Amino acid sequence: MAIINRTPDSFYDNGSTFDLEPALVRLAEAVRDGADLVDVGGVRAGYGPDVDAEEELRRTADFVAEARTRFPDLVISIDTWRSEVADELCRLGADLVNDTWSGHDPELAAVAAQHGAGLVCSHTGGIGPRTDPHRSAYDDVVADVIATVTALAHRALDAGVRPDGILIDPTHDFGKNTRHSLALTRRLDELVATGWPVLVALSNKDFVGETLDVDKDHRLPGTLAATAVSAWQGARVFRAHNVAETRQVLDMIASIRGDRPPAVARRGLA
């Protein structure tokens, strides 16, 4: 799942895809590099200037419409917690609603169902949109995540979201400290065991930076290590800034597991 930020203040790329044309160039590069999905968002996840629904749509609607035209078979995901935004973007062709704020808008699942779109069910530990964690505490963070995301998944089913369109996301860093995110990565197989497809958003996250004591521009090796661990344990979708590198890691893990043959196998055959 390639990330396209239609924001002027994204933590990773500082607004490099805020304008439409650079965003479309990044989209084409991501598809070329092996992305199966693209996730577009119009609001920075963390603190920043207020962005209302009208502005969020202004930032994302043109991209979704053009992406749908250029890549008819690409899965388009929208990163929003607002049902009115999801309604319009699904009308323009989005296939998946990535609700990273854990059902904050109770109407979001119904909107996804109305359009036949999928839904990502996430965990934030009870904090609201664009809120950073402060002294988050859990008796067992993995158990808390499982209870929350599976309850949201069943709520989505009850709202009419199609069963094959529901994913669960432990939502690393959201409502969590670094040790929580490490525990979720280490025990991801427990989420996989629920039977719901697991999405992980690990790319250049703060837990990687703090674990290795590196800034955002030097987190790729740590991100790929966490990606490999998550893939080995059965995660299905990987939200990533660095598509080509992530694709190679996932292909290598699949080949080690025996699910994918080597692209070339000439060694020792001459």
| Token duo for residue 88 | 């319009």
Active-site annotation holds for 82:
no
Instruction: Give the closest residue to 242 by CA, choosing from 190, 189, 202.
Output: 202
What letter would DSSP give residue 197? P
Active-site annotation holds for 176:
no
Beta strand ranges found along 80-232 (DSSP E): 96-98, 118-122, 166-169, 199-201
Instruction: Give the closest residue to 203 by CA, choosing from 167, 250, 144.
Output: 250
CA separation for the pair 204, 13 (Å, rounded): 11
Catalytic pick among 176, 187, 219, 239: 239
Measured from the Cβ of residue 237, the count of other Cβ atoms closer than 10 Å reads 21
Q: What are phi and psi of 32, to 5 degrees?
A: -60, -40
Instruction: Give the closest residue to 241 by CA, choosing from 181, 214, 201.
Output: 201
Catalytic pick among 26, 59, 187, 205: 205
Q: Which residues are catalytic?
A: 205, 239
